[in-house]
Amino acid sequence: MGSAAVKKVLGLNDPPNVPIKIMPPHESDPTVLGWFRDVFPSRHQFGLYLVRLFPFVQWIKHYNLQWLMGDLVAGLTVGAVVVPQSMAYAKLANLPVQYGLYTSFMGVLIYWFFATSKDITIGPVAIMSAVVGSIILDVQAAYPNVAGHQIALSIAVICGSIIFLMGLARMGFIVDFIPLPAIEAFMTGSAITICSGQTKQLLGQTANFSTSSPVYQIIIDTLEALPSSQVYDAAMGVSALVTLYIFRATCNYAARRNPRFSKHFFFLSALRAVVVIILFTVVSFAVNMHRRETPAFALIGTIPRGFEHAGAPVLTMDVIKLFAPKLPACIIVLLIEHIAVSKSFGRVNNYTIDPSQELIAIGITNLFGPFVGAYPATGSFSRSAIQSNSGSRSPFTGFITACVVLIAMYTLTAGLYYTPEACLSGVIIHAVGDLIVRPNTIYQFWLIAPLDVVVFAVGLIVALVSTIPNSIYATVCLSASILLFRHAKAPGHFLGQTKINDNNNQRWLFFPLDDADLDRDVKLERPRPGVFVYRFAEGFNYPNANHYFDTLVQTVLKHTRPSNTQTYVKKGDRPWNDPGSSTTDDSRLPLLRAIILDFSAVNNVDVTSIHNLVDVRNQLNVRAAPIVVQWHFANIKNRWTKRALAAVGFGSVYLCDQPAVPSEPDTKLFTPRPRNELSDVEIGSDAEASASSRMRIKRVEAGNSSDGAYSRPGILESRSQPFFHADLTSALQSVDMYLAANPE
């Protein structure tokens, strides 16, 4: 095609009031080598990566006395809370209480080196303890001689190693694939499961039934075993639970009535578990001091002093094989609770966490913690809230908390001998009760996205009738399925345009023709006859390509007529897929001339989607033959998308030279790109890149044209790829020029 023909196609010979083309700066095609350069870090970037592995290096040099005072208060408060909680959670994990102390010590000691959050406290948590406890029971059912702590430490080492490697690979984004309704369902189901499982010990029931069964079965067994409840155990457990709730309600009421002392009441409420444990331990001591061999109710008993169980964890392959199927659930529990809590407190306190760095912190904690007897640990919501509200100023709060736990391990273990086990169950039930989602939260889900209520309900039901790990799998899979379905069935839209006045300047806006929310006073103008403007709603990839083009082709066939009507002498000459003449008269319909695709929602494409686009192009070219349908693309943001489209012939003028109906079926996807006749360089070649410095922007100013040209609005358009447009307005203007130069 010569330059004159090209000018005719592009409408460059139109009257002076037609917009002219402005050549943008050259944009070279991306290369695979360039992609690898972007992916792999440079030496400087690798150095920064190593430095960021230890965030404390950045803030420790600014540490001051004021920060120390805030960290000291918060560390002492959290340390006092974590001691009774960690012992209670160890019982929940079917481990001796000292393992809870080991876990809380190592969690807060290691985390502050790698932390990007000042508010998080790593240690034993209720949900992870419940998961570990169920795994221990399952493994011991097959290997009764394997100690529970050996199983728990093996879980910690393996989970820690996996999470640590994920952090090194900067995979913190993976947590974003788990939506909030799935997390809330998991939390609520876990809390109900834990509460129902602790009721047996709270009431001191002696009946033999498993507390690792589904919730409905535990509730049935608990009700049937009510006659076996021990009066003194039930009295200690229930009274401890009631005291905790009365204590909190009283402090909250007093804080509302006396705002000046709200901080004091907050600290008093935060220490309620400590106060209750001390109170009931003193009562237990008074009752059992003369009957140590036959106590009136179950006691914690002897707690080893210090790190008696420190040493390298023992990993047995047979044991690992048994709990390996539950490792994904363990990793998800460790990740989602910690990342969700840290992000929440980061937003509240105006700082940003690094999820990948948090994975490294969790991984190292669980990798090295088992060497002193720590089982899997992660961030705790309740203790983190206390630490945040206590005035924590930096992650160094964790070191102070570790000192408090260490002192307790060497000085308080003997005094905790008389602590009632039922009292610890009351502490657990009280702690996890706050994890149950409130009805108004579910109603808010319904107002925002009703389908998310379905995800929540499925997760909760699975947790109640099955297990916590199965609840995680169910919600994650259901959420992923909904996401893929929405992407695959994303509705494309045919667009119309309307003109508005913006600061005395008129400009065009484009809206879907089927937009039900559009103001009725807004009149949309449809594109020119035979021209269609189509917008992709949610990307353009292999899951949704067919859905998009089914709608596109059906609409085009409905609103255009074929360029020639086939007549057959014999009935048998008609192809099987030709329905024959239609009863409707389509002679008034226009011929198909051009299609404009809006790529504003498209970030990248793939081979499948581009192949489908080529098939649609061939199909519509046959319908419009001998006219070649023009394909215009607007708002392409990604160079790789331009490269993919150009690889199959889109964007270039040479398409106008191709025959409308090929003599042979076009089954080849990638065809050689021709030399552009508007320039001496080949599209995508190295010569074109070298010529980029010679490309220039031609501007024609009003009343300032040396060659006598008229002042006309400009359209940002590439010389080598004139069918790739900056916006829909320029695309439509280009089509208008083409139609004016080439009427039907």
Q: What is the pLDDT of residues 55-87, one digit of tens each?
A: 888 888 888 999 999 899 999 989 888 988 899
| 439 φ/ψ angles, rounded to the nearest 5 degrees | -60, -35
Gap between the Cα atoms of 310 and 126, Å rounded: 23
In the chain, the amino acid numbered 194 is I
Contact indicator for 553, 616 with CB cutoff of 8 Å: yes
Residue 547 identity (one-letter amino acid): H
Q: Which residue has the higher pLDDT, 668 or 236?
A: 236
CB atoms within 10 A of CB 466: 16
Question: Residue 265 belongs to what H/E stretch?
Answer: helix 262-270
379/525: higher pLDDT: 379
579: which 2 tokens?
A: 């329905």
What pTM does this model have?
0.75
Give per-residue pLDDT as tens, 381-422.
888 888 888 888 899 999 999 999 999 999 888 888 888 989
Report the pLDDT value the prediction gives residue 161, as an integer from 0 to 100. Answer: 95
Residues 221/207, Cβ–Cβ less than 8 Å: yes
Check residue 689 and give its pLDDT.
Answer: 34
Q: Could you read off the pLDDT of 134-153 as tens digits, one per residue? A: 899 989 988 888 999 999 99
Show the tokens assigned to 57. 């290096």
- CA distances to 72, 123, 314, 543, 635 from 716, rounded to whole Å, are 62, 58, 68, 32, 11
pLDDT bin (cut points 50, 70, 90) of residue 527 is: confident
- Residue with the larger pLDDT of the pair 716 and 333: 333
If you average pLDDT over residues 415-438, what whole number do you get? 88
What CA–CA distances, in Å, run from 95 to 90, 99, 150, 289? 5, 7, 10, 26
Question: Would you call 316 exposed, middle or buried from its count of C-beta atoms within 10 A (0-12, 13-18, 19+)?
Answer: middle
Q: Is the pLDDT of residue 171 over 80?
A: yes
Q: Of 672, 666, 663, give the one whose Cα is nearest residue 611.
A: 666
- 4 vs 503: CA distance, rounded Å: 40
pLDDT tens by residue, 105-140: 998 999 888 888 888 889 999 889 989 998 999 899
Q: Is the pLDDT of residue 218 over 70?
A: yes
**β-strand 505-512 against 122-123: which pairing, if any?**
unpaired
Residue 496 token pair: 């119309």
Query: Residue 582: is its pLDDT beyond 60?
Result: no
Instruction: For residue 568, name the pLDDT band (cuts at 50, 70, 90).
Output: low
pLDDT for residue 489: 87
Encoded tokens for 603: 């970030």
Structure confidence at residue 662 (pLDDT):
38
Per-residue model confidence (pLDDT) at position 668: 43
Q: Please state the length of the chain.
A: 744
Give residue 665's pLDDT.
39
Q: Which residues are bridge partners to 511 per DSSP?
A: 496
Distance CA 159, CA 138 (A): 18
pLDDT, mean of residues 189-215: 88
pLDDT tier, 681 (very low <50, low <70, confident <90, very high otherwise): very low
Residue type, 611: H
pLDDT in tens, 528-563: 888 999 999 888 988 889 989 998 999 998 888 887
Quote the tokens at residue 583.
């009863």
Give residue-wise pLDDT tens across range 484-501. 888 888 888 888 887 776
Amino acid making up residue 346: G
Q: Find, among 406, 408, 423, the residue nearest to 285 by Cα.
A: 423
Residue 472 has pLDDT above 80, yes or no: yes
Specify whether the CB–CB gap between 218 and 211 falls below 8 A. Answer: yes
Query: In this predicted model, which residue has the larger pLDDT, 313 or 708?
Result: 313
pLDDT at 684: 34
Q: Kindly state the tokens that stand for 594.
A: 């051009």
The answer to whether the beta carbons of residues 630 and 594 sit under 8 Å apart is: yes
The whole-angstrom separation of Cα 378 and Cα 424 is: 20
**What is the mean pLDDT of the segment spanning 573-583?**
58
Residues 701 and 607 sit within 8 Å (Cβ to Cβ): no
Q: What is the mean pLDDT of residues 621-627?
A: 84
- Residue in the block written with tokens 């799935």: 182
Where is average pLDDT lowest: 267-271, 611-615, 681-685? 681-685
